[in-house]
């Protein structure tokens, strides 16, 4: 049996070696999941699913420190932020359980025409079928929760493939479901670094729903390969814009902007990346931002005071460095930056990089923020919208008029007013537009996607 070596993100030392699945193993797991769904008499009752989700939440809380350290180890997220991820994951499990109190169909009016007289119609909710979930590395526990908790809540068998770089949190979470009494056929893992095997999972005709979190290139490709009738949800990335109006208070906005830009070293799909500042406030803003960024504590994510940790792999650190160098060669100014280790970059601020530069057009996914000066607020909105990606955005202003104008005109699924672009709660809708995604995430919305309504009509 082949094995997968999991490395510590910060120093690249081996953390654990785990067995990988092969094609025959995947075939066995798909057969088990399909059989579980076909056996309607064996479906878990709603109260049983509620009890399992709540039990896992309790087990996760009891082992919160262990999970937080593991997230920091395998994914490189600083320990304080990893601890928050664990708390959110436990709350997400409870969210899924609580949502079942209101997860129901509705009555359809009859008797509105002579032909519908004497009938009573209503809908019920049913699980859609086998769910294939492919996840990303940057939130190795909470992303898994967002994919498998809704499936278990509505009664779908799920097979989850974690990122090859960060499988440990997923494996340990699924073990908690076993401990809570969930049979293996309802929640299985696929551990592999073989993209073709992952594609076989995603495109198997027995799979009725694909949940994919990762690169746009892979996600849209997989969607094109899905069998007829298979639904999907895709969550990709963006190049999140921030508009700073002339009325904004520079002193109070730096902290949320810094958090939004450098949280998890910028490895978040809605990380603040492009900041548009009124030209009259540009120098003041850059001065205050650069001072705050210079004070960020960068290094080992297992240390309790670290604010910015490593990137997931040396090749990612090298790629981000190359994009920065390209922007500088094209005329951008630079503040900060540089390598701390082969995976760890010091935070950078790029000043007025060209619109055509990669850092202006593509998702950087690193500790880099671009700052652009503008003369006209309307043109800043136009520039913010001028990329292929559209996810979350934000505007900072003390005047309500410009704030609402930006909220209406920014091409985004969510616009934060006086908060950073990476704000999220796990019960709110979360969706990419344009090339940034397909479908709507968030636990209640995912539960809806993983179910189907059936209408029943009774005639007297």
Position 1 scores a pLDDT of 77
From start to end of 139-269, where are the E strands?
158-161, 187-189, 207-213, 231-235, 240-244
Question: In DSSP terms, which residues pair with 188 in a beta bridge?
Answer: 159
Question: Does residue 229 share a domain with residue 367?
Answer: no
Provide the number of structural domains found in the chain: 2
Residue 100 tokens, joined = 């079942």
Range 220-234 average pLDDT = 97
Residue 66: inside a domain = yes
Question: Does residue 163 share a domain with residue 116?
Answer: yes
Question: Does residue 454 share a domain with residue 329?
Answer: no
Cα–Cα dist 322/336, whole Å: 15
Question: Does residue 296 share a domain with residue 244?
Answer: yes
| DSSP H or E segment with residue 83 | helix 79-99
pLDDT tens per residue across span 391-420: 999 999 999 999 999 999 999 999 999 999
Nearest 5°: the CA angle 69, 13, 298 is: 60
pLDDT tens per residue across span 369-378: 999 999 999 9
Cα–Cα dist 75/162, whole Å: 12
Question: Does residue 453 share a domain with residue 319?
Answer: no
Burial 273-303 (b: 16+ CB within 10 A, else e): bbbbbbeebbeebbebbbeebeeeebbbbbe
pLDDT tens per residue across span 74-127: 999 999 999 999 999 999 999 999 999 999 999 999 999 999 999 999 999 999
**291 in helix, strand or coil?**
helix
235 is catalytic: yes
Q: Give Cα 215 to chain centroid, integer Å.
A: 11
Question: Does residue 112 share a domain with residue 39?
Answer: yes
Question: Does residue 381 share a domain with residue 325?
Answer: yes
Residue 12: inside a domain = yes
pLDDT tens per residue across span 14-45: 999 999 999 999 999 999 999 999 999 999 99
DSSP per residue, 197-234 = HHHHHHH-TTEEEEEEES-HHHHHHHHHHPPTT-EEEE
Residue 396: inside a domain = yes
Question: Does residue 204 share a domain with residue 282?
Answer: no
From start to end of 94-183, where are the E strands?
107-108, 119-127, 130-134, 158-161
Position 157 scores a pLDDT of 98
**344 in helix, strand or coil?**
coil
pLDDT over 90 (residue 69): yes
Residue 430: inside a domain = no
Residue 188 sits in a domain whose CATH number is 3.40.605.10
Residue 431: inside a domain = no
Question: Does residue 441 share a domain with residue 418?
Answer: no
Residue 81 tokens, joined = 């932020």
pLDDT tens per residue across span 290-299: 999 999 999 9
Question: Does residue 259 share a domain with residue 135?
Answer: no
pLDDT over 90 (residue 209): yes
pLDDT over 80 (residue 149): yes
> Which is catalytic among the residues 99, 235, 363, 435?
235
When pLDDT is cut at 50, 70 and 90, the band that residue 345 belongs to is: very high
Position 230 scores a pLDDT of 97
> Which is catalytic among the residues 170, 187, 269, 370?
269
Question: Does residue 209 share a domain with residue 357?
Answer: no
Residue 112 tokens, joined = 């509105």
**397 in helix, strand or coil?**
coil
Residue 56: inside a domain = yes
Q: Give the residue numbers spanning the domain of 269.
A: 240-425
Question: Does residue 244 share a domain with residue 231?
Answer: no
Whole-model pTM: value is: 0.95
pLDDT tens per residue across span 406-460: 999 999 999 999 999 999 999 999 999 999 999 999 999 999 999 999 999 999 8
Alpha helix locations (H) across 263-399? Answer: 282-294, 314-329, 358-361, 377-384
Q: Could you give the count of Cα atoms lying within 13 Å of 332 in the half-sphere of its Cβ? A: 28
Residue 256 sits in a domain whose CATH number is 3.40.309.10
């Amino acid at each position: 049996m082949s094995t997968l070596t999991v490395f510590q993100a910060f120093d690249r030392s081996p953390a654990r070696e785990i067995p990988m699945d092969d094609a025959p193993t995947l075939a066995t797991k798909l057969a088990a999941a399909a059989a579980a769904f076909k056996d309607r008499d064996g479906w878990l009752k709603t109260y049983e699913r509620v009890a399992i989700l709540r039990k896992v939440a309790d087990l996760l809380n009891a082992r919160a420190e262990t999970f937080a350290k593991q997230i920091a180890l395998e994914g490189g997220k600083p320990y304080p932020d990893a601890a928050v991820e664990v708390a959110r994951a436990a709350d997400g499990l409870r969210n899924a359980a609580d949502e079942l109190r209101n997860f129901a169909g509705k009555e359809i009016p009859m008797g509105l025409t002579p032909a519908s007289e004497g009938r009573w119609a209503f809908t019920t909710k049913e699980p859609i079928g086998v769910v294939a979930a492919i996840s990303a590395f940057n939130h190795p526990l909470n992303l898994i929760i967002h994919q498998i908790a809704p499936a278990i809540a509505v009664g779908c068998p799920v097979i989850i493939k974690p990122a090859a770089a960060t499988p440990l949190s997923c494996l340990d979470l699924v073990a908690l479901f076993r401990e809570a009494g969930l049979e293996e056929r309802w929640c299985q893992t696929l551990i592999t670094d073989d993209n073709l095997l992952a594609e076989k999972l995603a495109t198997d005709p027995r799979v009725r729903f694909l949940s994919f979190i990762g690169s746009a290139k892979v996600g849209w490709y997989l969607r094109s390969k899905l069998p007829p009738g298979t639904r999907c949800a895709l969550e990709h990335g963006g190049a999140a814009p921030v508009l700073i109006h002339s009325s904004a208070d520079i002193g109070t906005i730096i902290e949320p902007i810094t958090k939004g830009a450098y949280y998890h070293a910028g490895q978040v799909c809605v990380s603040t990346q492009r900041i548009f500042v009124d030209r009259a406030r540009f120098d003041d803003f850059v001065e205050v931002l650069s001072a705050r960024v210079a004070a960020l504590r960068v290094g080992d994510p297992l240390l309790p005071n670290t604010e910015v940790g490593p990137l997931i792999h040396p090749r990612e650190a090298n790629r981000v460095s190359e994009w920065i160098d390209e922007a500088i060669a094209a005329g951008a100014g630079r503040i900060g930056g540089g390598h701390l280790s082969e995976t760890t970059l010091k935070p950078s601020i790029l000043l007025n990089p060209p619109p055509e530069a990669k850092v202006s057009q593509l998702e950087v996914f690193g500790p880099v923020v671009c700052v652009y000066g503008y003369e006209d607020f309307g043109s800043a909105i136009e520039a913010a919208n001028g990329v292929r990606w559209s996810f979350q955005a934000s505007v900072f202003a003390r005047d309500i008029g410009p704030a609402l104008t930006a909220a209406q005109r920014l091409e985004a699924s969510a616009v934060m007013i006086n908060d950073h672009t990476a704000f999220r709660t796990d019960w709110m809708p979360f969706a990419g537009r344009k090339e940034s995604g397909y479908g709507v995430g968030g636990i209640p919305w995912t539960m809806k996607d993983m179910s189907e309504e059936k209408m029943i009509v009774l005639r007297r």
